[in-house]
Amino acid sequence: MHKSLQKMDSLPELQAYQDHPKQMKAAATGKVGVLELDFERKNDKTVLTHLYRVTPLLVQQALYWDESWPGLPICSIISVGGGILQGDRYYLEVNVKDNAYACVNTQSATRVQEMDTNYATQYQHIEVGKNAYLEYIPDSTILYKHSRSAFENTIIADPSSVVLYGETIMLGRKYYHNERFEFDVFSSAVNVYRPNGDCVFSEKLLLTEDEPTKNFNAVMQHFDVFANIVCLCPPDMQQKIVESYVFSHDKTLNVLAGVSQLPNQAGVVLRVVGQESYHVHAEIKCFTKLVRNLVQKGMYNL
């Protein structure tokens, strides 16, 4: 855990913000949140077999409230603080064992607060076993004025598994002094591997205050919310999703959504842009429903 977080401190985009907050040193006790979740298959349902938590991150228990999938454990991540603060370091680990399935989400939007020193980082390590399913799509991340944040995600997924992972980014508090694009740094990397160590693909999104193209017409000029949802799945399921999902362009709501195929026949990626977060999340739900229906039909031994 500590090595992963310390490695993130050396990211080039964070080197200009190495000063420590006067109130409390970065990564001090109380500023390092840890959450570990292990899911295992027990008879006809999956149970949460290991839970370790360090404030401000919290999961109370796994709940089974989805009527369409009664055996699916759902864990909501709760942050007992007022959002992500300068000097915070978060570490999350999710393990879904062979033939198990789980849904992990967040209780509400993640707010990356305004900063005047240092930055915040979050490292996530996700492992999904054979014929397993993980759905991990947090609520929106809101980037406040002068916030500096870096997220790194390592996913180790068996080729037979199905993993839905993604993030939704709001470019600032648009209804509060119009903070659009007033954050200092936002960095998010996704690295996907197979259990044997082979790299499937890597992707990194980096936005800084001096990035000249971020508000271009073909980028985010007319949009305030961006979502990137990765679906790792077997090749036959990948083809089924590509054939079933229809590109969406709602001119009234100003929302665009479409899928692209990932390298090495690893699955697909859904990208959505819009002006309001609830319109973007509606598109994500449509995509999630499509994937879930394919999984629940028993096509992939889950």
- Domain-embedded: residue 18: yes
Confidence of residue 300 (pLDDT cuts 50, 70, 90): very low
Q: How high is the mean pLDDT of the chain?
A: 92
The mean pLDDT value for 198-219 works out to 86
pLDDT at residue 155, as a whole number: 98
The torsion angles phi and psi of 23, rounded to 5 degrees, stand at -70, -40
Contacts of 92 (CB under 8 A, 6+ apart): 34, 35, 36, 57, 77, 122, 123, 124, 125
Domain count, the chain: 1
Gap between the Cα atoms of 189 and 123, Å rounded: 10
- Domain-embedded: residue 301: no
- The string of DSSP codes covering 205-222 is EEEETT-TTTTSTTTTTT
pLDDT at residue 149, as a whole number: 97
- Domain-embedded: residue 302: no
Which 8-state DSSP code applies to residue 32? E
pLDDT at residue 297, as a whole number: 80
pLDDT digits (tens, 9 = 90+) for 220-229: 888 999 999 9
Provide the domain limits for residue 34.
2-296
Confidence of residue 215 (pLDDT cuts 50, 70, 90): confident
Confidence of residue 2 (pLDDT cuts 50, 70, 90): confident
pLDDT digits (tens, 9 = 90+) for 248-298: 898 888 999 999 999 999 999 999 999 999 999 999 999 999 999 999 886
Contact 268, 261 (CB under 8 A): yes
Gap between the Cα atoms of 236 and 119, Å rounded: 42
pLDDT at residue 298, as a whole number: 65
- Domain-embedded: residue 267: yes
- Domain-embedded: residue 23: yes
- Domain-embedded: residue 130: yes
- The string of DSSP codes covering 143-175 is E-TT-EEEEEEEEEE-TT-EEEEEEEEE-S-TT
pTM summary value? 0.93
Contact 159, 191 (CB under 8 A): no
Gap between the Cα atoms of 82 and 109, Å rounded: 11
Gap between the Cα atoms of 87 and 81, Å rounded: 13
pLDDT at residue 24, as a whole number: 82
Confidence of residue 110 (pLDDT cuts 50, 70, 90): very high
Gap between the Cα atoms of 152 and 37, Å rounded: 18
Contact 79, 112 (CB under 8 A): no
Range scoring the smallest mean pLDDT among 37-41, 81-85, 125-129, 164-168: 81-85
The mean pLDDT value for 100-116 works out to 95
Contacts of 281 (CB under 8 A, 6+ apart): 139, 140, 168, 227
299, pLDDT greater than 70: no
The mean pLDDT value for 90-119 works out to 96
118, pLDDT greater than 90: yes
Instruction: Measure Cα distances from 128 to 8, 40, 117 in Å.
Output: 23, 11, 37
